[in-house]
Amino acid sequence: MRTLVVRLDSDGDVLLAGPAVRAAARAGEVVLLCGYSGAQAAVLLPGVHRVVRWDCPWISNPAPEVRTPDIEGIVALLKGIRADVALVLTSFHQSPLPLALLLKLAGVPKVVARSTDYPGSLLDVRLREDPDVPEAERALEVARAAGFGLPPGDDGRLAITTPVETAEIGPYVVLHPGASVPARAWSPDRCAEAVTALVQAGHRVLVTGGPGETALTKYVAGTDGVDLGGRTTFAELAGLLARADAVVVGNTGPAHLAAAVGTPVVSLFAPVVPAERWAPHGPHVLLGDQNAACRGSRARECPVPGHPCLNLVTPDRVVAAVAELVGVRT
């Protein structure tokens, strides 16, 4: 049995597909089709035998053009995988049907997905309901609908392969100030204030970020924190998070990476998407006004002046949340 699992967006989304991947892997080989922005996470998931990358024009942002040769190419690639079944995992605002069409053109005999739109003959198993449950559970429901269940003793938590060892010596707290969507990020000033407040409370603070966030991490770390911006791979970041007492982060990939290594999260969560679905899938304290005016807007840029849903959270509240979580691990 060869199962194609599809999750075409970012690293955090791919991590949340992990339990569904492990369920499918019980039945045989799993090939994971993901976007380039999710490939770092894909290679860390237990149960994945092969990762295939594709920049999907109706998922990626910014989106590539739709060109006939590219579509013909992905159909040929899908045909070459020779999957027995495909699980198309999508968020509540995404449709699985464009990809289901390509999978049918590629000859995949069984396609399973959740769709509120009428799928015609594109889906062989269709989940109609879209409950407000954690995203990892929504993905796992698709795997179950295809006949796959978790192995005995697997509780459905997020997981990755063994994290890379790092040179950092604990105890420490990680603060990750960046986010791929600006509306989901705490302001740099608030982050810098939190670093100082955490250090004053007795914590060593490591500030992490990607290669394009080095100016941000340098500012946030200031003279109190340790600036690690651009200095870790995604796998090395996993190792760093695994040894942290807690992680302070917005709704972005490292929040789910922290959950996957069992580290508690202080989640600065903007309600532009529902926390019921996207909050860290593990021990966490949720901060931010979940009833703010931006609720459910899916905005990429904050539509409310001053970004009050997050920026009204004080550094002292973050310090208290870290104190609440230290020692709580999965």
Query: Which 3 state secondary structure label does DSSP give 50?
Result: strand
Which single residue is written with the structure tokens 């069984």? Answer: 110
Question: 117 vs 92, 134, 251, CA distance in Å?
Answer: 12, 21, 28
Encode burial over 98-132: b for 16+ CB neighbours within 10 A, e otherwise.
Answer: bbbbbbbebebebbbbbbeeebeebbbebbeeeee
List the Cα angle 158/238/133 in 5-degree steps.
25
- CA pair distance 275, 301, nearest whole angstrom: 18
Instruction: Specify the DSSP class assigned to residue 27.
Output: T
Residue showing tokens 């995988």: 81
pLDDT number for residue 61:
85
Beta bridge partners of 298: none
Q: For position 330, what pLDDT does the model report?
A: 56
Q: How far is CA 217 from CA 13, 202, 248, in A?
A: 24, 20, 13
Fold of 173-325: Rossmann fold (3.40.50)
What residue segments make up the domains of the chain, in order of their start?
A: 2-145, 173-325
Q: How many helices (H) and strands (E) in the chain? A: 13, 12
The predicted pLDDT at position 329 comes to 57
214-221 vs 188-200: helix crossing angle, rounded to 10: 40
Q: Which residues is 267 bridged to in the sheet? A: 249, 286
Task: Report CA dihedral (309, 323, 169, 202) to the nearest 10 degrees.
Answer: 100
pLDDT of residue 93: 86
Give the CA distances from residue 26 to residues 2, 81, 86, 152, 323, in Å, rounded to whole numbers and listed in that order: 11, 19, 15, 10, 39
Give pLDDT tens digits along the chain (330 positions): 999 999 999 999 999 999 999 999 999 999 999 999 999 999 999 999 999 999 999 998 888 999 999 999 999 999 999 999 999 999 988 999 999 999 999 999 999 999 999 999 999 999 998 888 999 999 999 999 999 999 999 999 999 997 777 766 779 999 999 998 899 999 999 999 999 999 999 999 999 999 999 999 999 999 999 999 999 999 999 999 999 999 999 999 999 999 999 999 999 999 999 999 999 999 999 999 999 999 989 898 988 899 999 999 999 999 999 999 987 655
330/46 Cα distance (integer angstroms)? 17
The reply to whether 173-325 shares the fold of 2-145 is yes
2-145 is classed in which CATH architecture? 3-Layer(aba) Sandwich (3.40)
Is residue 294 within 8 A of residue 303, CB to CB? The reply is: yes
CA angle 325, 326, 327 (to 5 degrees): 110
